[in-house]
Amino acid sequence: MENAENQFEWIRMDVASRSVGSDRPVEVPVTVRNIQSSKRRFRITVSSEFNQVDRLVEWSLAIQDQKTKTFSLSPIDNKPVSEEFDIDGKKERKLVLVFTTPKGGYLGDRASFVVTVESDDGIHHLQKEFTLTLSPVIVAIKTTVGNEFPVSRDLERRSEKDKQERLERDEKATNEVFAIMAPHEVKGYVFVETMHPDRVSFIAKGIKGYKGMVEGDIKLEEIEHYLTPKPAVTGLELGAFVELIDGPFKGEKAKIMSIDSGKEEVTVQLVESMVPIPVTVRAEAIRMLDNK
């Protein structure tokens, strides 16, 4: 009996424990080769164990072979899943195991899987184990340019209200929004850390300036350079013309009269006002205009 994956090169299977978001597929390609000259039967079996908050939440497993078969897995129904297949002599068979994490999972929920591949004649046998742990993902939402901060603020308020409403029927309910980042340099987009992107989309619906969610996850390394933000006054110049994008004068054009780098505040003069009015605002509340 063989216990080494590369012995005689009869199988290739690459699995590894990892953290993954909710409602996300994890593919495990498996290639089995019959190194003998006559047809032989092989079996692939997947066993599972779960550690999760809600025992009713289901994971799914799809075995993609010549046909695709899908199975539901949960702490309540975690019987091993098994499939048999024949391979002609000196031929190989490629399968893909697709583990899909639950849509309504909780932070830290995890499932451990044992994948066993063996031949009916007992000559070949391989077993590998790995764990999938649910973790937050980062997604991008679209906004109208100039409304990145207001959308972030309103999303935070709505998500907190949503949590309070859900706590009335579910004591384990948490805020769907873990963090929000609206980098000053990025126009028209806001980054959100969450366990459930579909819930964020639902909560954000109707917020003024919200234009929808970008498909797919954002890798942390793609945006980590924004985590050490530049001072909000970076790039502002005396005499420059700006637009106020937040506060009571939102939408008004103004001219920068002074800049307080320490407080990250800017004093501007409203351009269209009949009487020159100096207004001090946060640097995040203005947007540079292209034309001076």
Predicted confidence pLDDT, tens digits, the chain (292 residues):
444 445 468 999 999 999 999 999 999 999 999 999 999 999 999 999 999 999 999 999 999 998 999 999 999 988 999 999 999 999 999 999 999 999 989 999 999 999 999 999 999 999 999 999 999 999 999 999 999 999 999 999 999 999 999 999 888 889 999 999 998 889 999 999 999 999 999 999 999 999 999 999 999 999 988 877 667 777 788 999 999 988 888 888 999 999 998 888 999 999 888 888 889 999 888 888 875 4
pTM, 2 dp: 0.73
Domains of the chain: 7-134 (2.60.40.10), 137-226 (3.30.70.940), 241-288 (2.30.30.30)
Q: 174 burial class (0-12, 13-18, 19+ CB within 10 angstroms)? A: middle
Task: Look at residues 116, 159, 145 and name the one whose alpha carbon lies nearest to residue 15.
Answer: 116
Q: Residue 152 in 3-state DSSP?
A: helix
Show the tokens assigned to 219.
């890798």
Rounded CA gap, 100 and 20, in Å?
Answer: 10
Q: Residue 158 in 3-state DSSP?
A: helix
The residues near 155 (Cβ < 8 Å, ≥ 6 apart) are 141, 177, 180, 190, 192, 200, 203, 204, 207, 210
